[in-house]
Each structure stands twice: as C-alpha cells, then as structure tokens.
Amino acid sequence: MFRRFAALLCLTALAAPTQAQAWPQVAPGQWADPTRACTYRTEQRGQAFPLMGHQDAVKLSGEVRQSLIRQGMREVSVRPAARGQHWGLLASYVYPSTEGEAQVAQLYLSQRGLLRTVTASTHAKTVSALPPGQAATSPAACWADLARWVEFSAN
C-alpha cells in the first residue's frame, strides 16, 4: 500500500508568508513574491491520506524519496514532519527542467483524512539557467525564508 501511495504522492509533486510580505495571489491557491522568483501553493487533493504515526511517516518518507529519485529529481530529502499531534512528510529536492533548475519544498499533510499539499518553489530561471548537472550560483533571495516557512510553520 505504501509503495503505491508514495508513487501517487510524487506524481502530484509538481507544483503563508503572503500578508506579512505582501505576496500577491497569482492564481487560486497560489502566491508569488513581488519579483515572482518564488511561489507557493496549497492544494487539497481528493486522495486519501490518513493521519499516520511517526513509524508510518518514516516508512513512507523512504518510499517517496525513492519515487522522486526515479522521476529524475536531484538532491532529494524526505522526512517526517510533525504538525501538532499529527505527522506528515516534508520533501525537498531540485527539479530539473529545460528552463534550468527549480528548488522545491513540499509538505504533505492530512486534512480530514485527505491529502493536502503546501508546495514552495523557485522559478527555474532564478536557480540556474545552466545545463543540468552544473551547480547554480545561488538560489533566489526569497528562497531561504520560504523554505523555512514550509518546514516549520506551514499548515
């Protein structure tokens, strides 16, 4: 069950600080910083995602990590993330594309037993316009705060 679920989670992967930093809403459920170098979105999925304990989160995190690697993501890290009494998953990775590379942080949460994601990313060109495999000079200036927000505060 976990293996199939991990694959489904990863297929949905590609895709807050809004009021405090005056980030405008650019689409329903999606916000971007004023320069549009960083964006984040929240999505409620129809997919079952029951609340899980720590051990289930550990097991599922390994399977999600392997699935992301198989899909070509790089620098993949997936770990359990606690939100109050509940566990979810926090994934971070580099998403390669023809426009360059984008950094992604994605939180998988259970909301009334259904999957809810919070996905933050840099615009591909802000990370690297270099060919895949060549290191970017630095991420977008907005990235560090946005990634920390997803990791520690997003719900």
Strand duo 25-27 + 30-32: pairing: antiparallel
Region for 3 from its dihedrals, namely left if φ exceeds 0, alpha if ψ lies in -120 to 50, beta otherwise? alpha
- The phi, psi pair for 8, rounded to 5°, reads -65, -40
Answer yes or no: are the C-beta atoms of 13 and 92 closer than 8 Å.
no
pLDDT at 108: 92
Domains of the chain, earliest start first: 2-12+24-152 (3.40.1000)
Chain mean pLDDT for the chain: 79
Tens digit of each residue's pLDDT (9 = 90 or more) over 109-154: 888 889 999 999 987 655 444 455 555 455 677 888 888 878 877 7
